[in-house]
Amino acid sequence: MSRPTTLPRPQSVCQICDSIIGRRLYSTKPALSSRIATRPRSQISQNVPRANSSQKRLLASAVLPTKKTISGSSKSRDALEEQDKKVKPTPRSARDELSSVTNMMTYLEKNKTRVLSNRRIPPESDVNAALQACFVLADYIMDDSVQPQISHMIKESDSAAAELLSLDSTKGSRSKTSETMTAHITAQVKRIIDEISNTAYAVLSHPPVFITPELLEKYVDVQARLVRPETFSQIFQLYASKPMPRESSGSISYVAPNPNKVANAIESKVIEKALDVAIEKKNIDAAVGIIENGYGTKAFIRNKLLRRAVLPAGTFAATPFAAYLLASNFSSFQTAMDSASATNVAFVGILTYVGFTASLGMVAFTTANDHMKRVTWAPGVPLRLRWVREEERAALDKVACAWGFREKWRQGEEEGADWDALREYIGQKSMVLDQAELMEGMDY
């Protein structure tokens, strides 16, 4: 039996798929577009229609005919799966850590408990993970662009605030309600910030935790993001004097360290960052404590001598040998005296020239005060101490400039208990605050 010529030709699989899915999507498009402005994004995705299993099979056969270009169906499937993995979004569990205030606190408490509940010496990776969690939350909380989202989280999670809002709105005092809610949200944000700061301090001050330079820098980053410099001096002290844990036969013992060791010196960039936070917060006690436990320690001075004085000292020690070799070579170029006498004369001349020039350079370097603004050295301080303690003087100078008047013509007129205490502290360090001879217009 022959096929009638009047019957329509069958449609292709692509056309069938387009007609089936297109009708469904078209039918829901007006209702979906009308509800976009009033529904959250999570509800919008639920209204999009999904194709059933037969439609998915048709769609797969219609959209993926190019699989044959790759040799073998298994290879094409693997290639497509790899492509899907590349564009796979971030796991929902990682994104949900900051989706609400409760999740934030849970995320923070989980990392804190992992360190504090460990009966053995916590590994550095767990401590670093706890501090990293604090830094992530601190960076999120202190970001101005997410402050409205945090306020919305607090409004949704706090039922008491919602009840207060409804009661006040019935009385018609909407302005008072708004102020109350703003104060409540501010208090909640401050509580979260306090919890993050306290968690970081509790983790690093935990007795079995050994503070490494990386952990100390991470802690300073966390507190700097939160603008909380109050604990920097205590942590700097712990870094140098905290007993080192030792685990043996299931028990932990502690060994008292030497706080003056070179290894216990804090890096200058870490101290500088902590000092900037204290100045930003206008906390003069924290600033002085940071300088005292950072630049003013023997460990920092020894570390500076080891890093910056070894090469000059080695050069100075090798100078006589180099001068004698040069003198012995120069003696062969003359005939006025014997070789031994010429060598001695040349040796003394070279040492005299090098010693005199080096002395002038050292005096000029250690007595230069063009970079000093308000804090200078007291008369009689040895030049070697001026060079060794230059970072401490520069830090105190920075603090004095931050707390004093900006106008140069008003400097020296500051008053108050904090300023008097700072002046007295600087005097105890063999330094002078606002030396009259060096002030502008007082060079008589």
Q: Please classify residue 264 by burial: count the beta carbons closer than 10 Å to its beta carbon, then call 0-12 exposed, 13-18 middle and 19+ buried.
A: buried
- Residue 253 has phi, psi (to 5 degrees) of -115, 160
C-beta neighbour count of 26 within 10 angstroms: 9
Cα torsion for 123, 128, 134, 135, to the nearest 10°? 180
What is the C-alpha to C-alpha distance for residues 232 and 171, in angstroms, rounded to an integer? Answer: 48
- Return the pLDDT at 413: 83
- Return the pLDDT at 147: 61
Tokens standing for residue 40: 């959250």
Residue with tokens 């820098």: 217
- Residue of 55, 71, 67 lying closest to 13 (CA atoms): 55
Are the CB atoms for 135 and 108 separated by under 8 Å? no
**DSSP H/E element including 326:** helix 310-330
Residue with tokens 């036969």: 249
Amino acid at 417: A
- Return the pLDDT at 140: 85
- Return the pLDDT at 365: 84
Q: How far from 131 is each of 114, 198, 209, 285, CA to CA, in Å?
A: 12, 11, 12, 25
- Return the pLDDT at 289: 95
- Return the pLDDT at 290: 96
C-beta neighbour count of 334 within 10 angstroms: 13
Predicted model pTM: 0.69
Are the CB atoms for 260 and 299 separated by under 8 Å? yes
Amino acid at 421: A
- Residue of 430, 399, 209, 394 lying closest to 304 (CA atoms): 394
Tokens standing for residue 224: 């700097």
**DSSP H/E element including 127:** helix 124-141
- Return the pLDDT at 175: 52
Are the CB atoms for 107 and 97 separated by under 8 Å? yes
DSSP state of 12: P
**Maximum C-alpha span of the chain:** 134
Are the CB atoms for 192 and 102 separated by under 8 Å? no
Tokens standing for residue 177: 């309600």
DSSP state of 412: T
- Return the pLDDT at 249: 80
Report the relative pairing of strands 375-377 and 431-433 from DSSP bridges.
antiparallel
What does each of the 444 residues of the chain score in pLDDT, given as a tens digit? Answer: 444 444 444 444 444 444 444 444 334 444 433 443 444 444 444 444 444 444 444 334 433 344 333 334 444 445 445 544 444 444 444 445 565 667 878 888 899 999 999 888 999 999 999 999 999 999 888 877 766 666 666 655 554 444 544 544 444 454 555 556 566 567 777 888 999 999 999 999 999 999 999 999 999 999 999 999 999 999 999 999 999 999 888 788 899 999 999 999 999 999 999 999 999 999 999 999 999 999 999 999 999 999 988 888 888 899 999 999 999 988 888 878 888 899 999 999 999 999 999 999 888 888 888 888 899 999 999 988 999 999 999 999 999 999 988 888 888 888 889 899 999 999 999 999 988 666 666 655
**DSSP H/E element including 389:** none
Q: Which residues contact 405 (CB under 8 A, 6 or more apart)?
A: 411, 413, 414
What is the C-alpha to C-alpha distance for residues 325 and 344, in angstroms, rounded to an integer? Answer: 11
**DSSP H/E element including 248:** strand 244-248
DSSP string spanning 178-237?
HHHHHHHHHHHHHHHHHHHHHHHHHHHT-TT----HHHHHHHHHHHHHHT--TTHHHHHH
Q: Which residues contact 305 (CB under 8 A, 6 or more apart)?
A: 388
Residue with tokens 């299993």: 53
Instruction: Return the axis-axis angle of helices 213-226 and 268-281, rounded to nearest 10°.
Output: 20
- Residue of 238, 239, 236 lying closest to 287 (CA atoms): 236
- Residue of 151, 55, 31 lying closest to 100 (CA atoms): 151
- Residue 377 has phi, psi (to 5 degrees) of -80, 145
- Residue of 26, 28, 65 lying closest to 48 (CA atoms): 28
